[in-house]
């Protein structure tokens, strides 16, 4: 693993940016890069100074073009099958990463790039964004298990069965992108979103993510009861005067 394949920085307090740094191949995800991303996230999960993780791609052209096909072509069928199982586990760990994640989809996002974007909590794009789920083109299937919760059943069928690429504006309209940088400053909008999240109490944000991840498939009453149980226990309610300090301070200033 070379240091240039994954760069890290802190564009704002509490915001760890991890940049896929292979612009010469549109930030294609090699096995070593994916493992390094997983290892860095494992450490970030226990670091108090990391409240949000922002994933981006180097250069202007791409977030990620997907897995490194040149690397995969050199492997035997058995080796590819073994790697596929490892990659399934790594993607699932990314989805379950306990802290919020944001994908800055500033250019094209194909294949595994779209897998990671879809498994992020927020996705930010702009006019240059171009997103596709390409699995059907080679006889595969991806994101059938989560995409419909993001954009609805009808639009999921459209994207998965055609593998068509959608531009940033259309992706935002359908909910595939959660924020849209009209001026093209995807990095700026993504960082601003990360700062908004980082400003919230971290235990509350983590609880929200956990509740949302475990909710689908449960009946409404179960989800309601679980939220209330978490609010009473994990979040340990503080005294009202402490929880709403700013409100009472503002009220006092107007009286």
Q: Tokens for 139?
A: 């006889």
Q: Tokens for 36?
A: 């390094």
Q: How far apart are CA 128 and CA 166, in angstroms?
A: 10
Phi (first) and psi of residue 177, to 5 degrees: -100, 135
Q: For residue 241, is pLDDT > 80?
A: no
Q: Tokens for 189?
A: 């909008």
Mean pLDDT, the chain, whole residue set? 92
CATH number of 6-204: 3.90.226.10
Query: Cα dihedral sign for 68, 26, 113, 9?
Result: positive
Q: How far apart are CA 27 and CA 33, in angstroms?
A: 10
Give mean pLDDT, residues 28-50: 97
Residues 105-120 have pLDDT tens digits of 999 999 999 999 999 9
Residues 118-138 have pLDDT tens digits of 999 999 999 999 999 999 999
Q: How far apart are CA 235 and CA 238, in angstroms?
A: 9
Report the predicted TM-score, pTM, of the whole model to 2 decimal places.
0.91
How far, CA to CA in Å, does 205 sit from each of 113, 197, 209, 235?
25, 8, 6, 10
Residue 230: which pLDDT band, with cuts at 50, 70 and 90? confident
**pLDDT for the residue numbered 226:** 87
**pLDDT for the residue numbered 238:** 65
Q: For residue 32, is pLDDT > 50?
A: yes
């Amino acid at each position: 693993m070379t240091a240039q394949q994954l760069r890290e920085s802190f564009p704002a307090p509490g915001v760890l940016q991890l940049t896929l740094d292979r612009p010469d191949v549109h930030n294609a995800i090699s096995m070593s890069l994916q493992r390094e991303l997983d290892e860095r996230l494992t450490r970030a999960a226990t670091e108090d100074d990391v409240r949000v993780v922002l994933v981006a791609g180097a250069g202007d052209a791409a977030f990620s073009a997907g897995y490194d096909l040149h690397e995969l072509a050199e492997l035997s069928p058995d080796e590819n099958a073994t790697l596929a199982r490892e990659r399934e586990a790594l993607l699932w760990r990314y989805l379950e990463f306990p802290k919020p994640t944001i994908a800055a989809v500033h250019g094209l996002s194909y294949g595994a790039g779209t897998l990671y974007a879809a498994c992020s909590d927020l996705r930010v794009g702009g006019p240059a964004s171009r997103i596709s789920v390409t699995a059907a083109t080679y006889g595969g299937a991806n994101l059938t298990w989560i995409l419909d919760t993001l954009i609805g059943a009808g639009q999921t069928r459209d994207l998965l069965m055609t593998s068509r690429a959608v531009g940033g504006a259309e992706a935002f309209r359908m909910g595939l992108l959660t924020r849209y940088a009209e001026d093209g400053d995807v990095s700026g909008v993504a960082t601003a979103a990360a700062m908004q999240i980082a400003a919230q109490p971290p235990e509350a944000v983590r609880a929200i993510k956990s509740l949302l991840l475990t909710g689908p498939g449960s009946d409404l009453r179960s989800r309601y009861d679980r939220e209330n149980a978490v609010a009473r226990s994990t979040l340990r309610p503080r005294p009202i005067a402490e929880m709403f300090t700013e409100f009472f301070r503002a009220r006092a200033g107007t009286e």
